[in-house]
Amino acid sequence: MPKHCNTGPPRLNNLMPVSQKGTALTGRLLVRFLVLGCSGAIATTPASAASDPGGGVPPAEAPAEASAETPVDSTTPTFENADALLRALEHADTGLKTLLARINYFKTFAIQSDTQERRGTLYFEAESSPDGKTPPRRRFAVTFDELIVGDRSEKSTLHYAFDGEWVVEKTPDDHQFTKRQVVPPGETFDPLKIGEGPFPVPIGQKRAEILSRFEATLPPPAEGLENPNYVMFVEFNALVELLLKPKPGTPEADSFEEVRIWYQPTGHMLPLIAKTITPAGDESLVILTDPVVNKPIDESVFSTELPPADENWHVHISEYRRPVPG
């Protein structure tokens, strides 16, 4: 029988395990990456790779040129300052209905001095409201299929899905299914909003909201990246870097020392790289490759339905409960 628990309104980023050695590695960076960043042009791979989002060489090992058809030309726009970039990002997601991309998620722990990596596929969908007045419903899912710890690589499936109201975490290897209601019925929630979701992938974020919580600047394009392959990737695609530092006293100041996001400078201005550093010194890095936009995505990847009873899953359900005013 499913186990039901009434809980308060947790932030979505608190629903994702930051690390479980050898198994789960997903955490705050992923959804935040989606929340902060999807507003830009897409650096696509050659047709053969783009048609097979599950393929490709991990970005740490591949030359930067492998991630784009052609380098950005001289007509690429430049941004005078962070404010100009944020204004452009506000509307860059117009017409962006779906996004599918390969994802590499790295987590480095300051105390243990070790790095874990998960590789998989990210799915995103924005569904416009019928009246056109309310915010679009945003759904996302991530399926990780490989875990790398040190020199050891293993197949390890971990799936997250958010349908606009419920978030589900599934680990098929041990038949664990956890479902949490993070949005009150009838209300909307942006899983990509910085500080709310598990990964920093901001798409269509409002300039005023970001500036109310962060100091924003435009550093040199490859600042904060040590791996030369990533530096080449940034330079070849003319990515624009946005540096966000939480303002004192904000909730984000408890979670981050800084957030860095690298956007494509044109089109939907997709965030292809995002990096966060916590006050404890832990670092997270998300890299999206082989992005494909506005192609149909199988509905099943966003499903938060309970698994069949005869499959013997361990099911845990937490329903939403409004906090009692203090």
The candidate with the shortest Cα–Cα distance to 37, out of 108, 104, 89, is: 89
pLDDT of residue 198: 52
User: What is the model's pTM?
Assistant: 0.76
Compute how many other C-beta atoms are within 10 angstroms of the C-beta atom of residue 287: 25
CA distance 287 to 58: 10
CA distance 8 to 121: 30
pLDDT of residue 321: 75
pLDDT of residue 128: 73
pLDDT of residue 19: 34
Write down the mean pLDDT value for the chain. 76
For strands 314-320 and 176-181, give the pairing.
parallel
CA distance 18 to 284: 10
Q: Residue 142: CB partners within 8 Å, gap ≥ 6?
A: 26, 30, 103, 120, 121, 122, 123, 159, 160, 199
pLDDT mean values, one per 10 residues, the chain (326 residues)? 41 36 38 43 31 36 38 66 92 89 93 90 85 74 94 93 90 94 74 55 74 94 94 94 95 92 92 93 93 94 94 93 63
* 3-class secondary-structure state, position 1: coil
Written as six digits, the tokens of 123 are: 């799915």
pLDDT of residue 132: 65
Return the sign of the alpha-carbon dihedral for residues 35, 325, 255, 246: positive
The candidate with the shortest Cα–Cα distance to 98, out of 141, 52, 55, is: 141
Written as six digits, the tokens of 301 are: 């990847």
The neighbouring-strand residues paired with 3 are: 316
Q: Where are the alpha helices (DSSP H) in 193-245?
A: 207-213, 228-236
* 182-230 pLDDT, tens digit each: 888 777 666 555 555 555 555 667 889 889 999 999 999 999 999 999 9
pLDDT of residue 195: 52
